[in-house]
Amino acid sequence: MDIVVVGSINMDLVTNVKQIPKKGETCLGYGLNRIPGGKGANQAVAAARLGARVEMIGRLGDDAMADDLLKSLKINQVGVKNVIRTEEETSGTALIMVEETGDNVIVVIPGSNGKLDEEDIDQAIDTIRSTKIVVTQLEIPIQTVKYVLEKAKAFNKYTILNPAPAAYLEDDIIMNTDLLTPNETELEILSGITIESEADIIRAAKKLLKRGVKQLIVTLGDKGCMYIDEKGHKSYSALSVKAVDTTAAGDSFTAALAVALCEGKSMDEVITFATKVGALTVTKFGAQQSLPYRLEVTQREV
């Protein structure tokens, strides 16, 4: 096994709007689509489409949405032996509005994702033991994230934490993370430092390095990203594309990092590959349906 993803599985309910409404404003939505999503499932599907052998650890509800979500994982060649159905609970759901610019707002309702616990991780421990990289995020309980990272490092696995949705994290989570992938907002919350410049990003990242994380890749939207470790930092430019929908761009970026690291690529190669994958993702509508396949990444110019 190459990659184990521990995290959320959601059904995205997506509508298009001309402009995201202001507080108190009512606007018209155009269409309503049910699209499999969830940060964990998106990352698992993205990694599988890019050619990795992937197992998912997560929880689904006891509803019709769960059937569709499980089917999507299977179709995309994601292993689901550790995906648990939760009685008397709804599957995770995300309400998403996408405006004409491609920007979005998202409300996540955890549902069964909130039930993923340490016992579930123990039951899947052989899967974690047999993998190369463990990827997780924050749409499942923080205590479960902490436990996953502890177990992964006990087996000397490389760990990637995508700290979204934004939350402050204790040192025992930070110190068990090899690669942290925050955006600017998440970096502010994690470090307590207001981000207004490149120097602020570096200062905030160094604070997290002192707390025990080994490497950071800070995503900066259309400004690209920055890699920081104890040896220094390097900036990488974004690719210029016409954005249709930014949903799952960060998830595909994180998944691509994991895939390229599994393949033993240099950090320059890893970030270049992930940048292209993220750029291709925003050119399509929806979460999992927008995630590119490896052949597309290889052949398409952006």
Distance CA 106, CA 95 (A): 6
Annotated catalytic sites, by residue? 251
Q: What is the reported pLDDT for 249?
A: 87
Q: What is the reported pLDDT for 289?
A: 81
**Cβ partners under 8 Å of residue 259, min gap 6:** 2, 3, 47, 50, 51, 52, 273
Distance CA 42, CA 47 (A): 9
Q: What is the reported pLDDT for 123?
A: 98
For 126-137, letters b (16+ CB in 10 Å) and e give: ebbeebebbbbb
249 contacts 219 by C-beta, under 8 angstroms: no
Q: What is the reported pLDDT for 104?
A: 84
Whole-structure pTM value:
0.93
Largest CA distance in the chain: 51
DSSP 250-301: HHHHHHHHHHHHHTT--HHHHHHHHHHHHHHHTTSSSSGGGPPPHHHHHH--
181 contacts 161 by C-beta, under 8 angstroms: yes
55 contacts 127 by C-beta, under 8 angstroms: yes
45 contacts 251 by C-beta, under 8 angstroms: no
- 34 forms beta bridges with 13
- Determine whether 12 is exposed, middle or buried from the number of CB atoms within 10 Å of its CB (0-12, 13-18, 19+): buried
The ranges assigned to domains in the chain are: 3-19+30-296
Q: What is the reported pLDDT for 78?
A: 98
- CATH class, range 3-19+30-296: alpha beta
Closest CA to 201 of 189, 210, 193, 209: 193
Question: Tens digit of pLDDT per residue, the chain (302 long)?
Answer: 799 999 999 999 999 999 999 999 999 999 999 989 999 999 999 999 999 999 999 999 999 999 999 999 999 999 999 999 999 999 999 898 989 888 888 898 999 999 999 999 999 999 999 999 999 999 999 999 999 999 999 999 999 999 999 999 999 999 999 999 999 999 999 999 999 999 999 999 999 999 999 999 999 988 999 999 999 999 999 898 887 877 778 999 999 999 999 999 999 999 999 999 999 998 887 778 889 999 999 987 76
* DSSP H helical ranges for the chain: 39-49, 64-75, 118-123, 125-129, 142-154, 171-174, 184-191, 198-210, 249-262, 267-281, 294-299
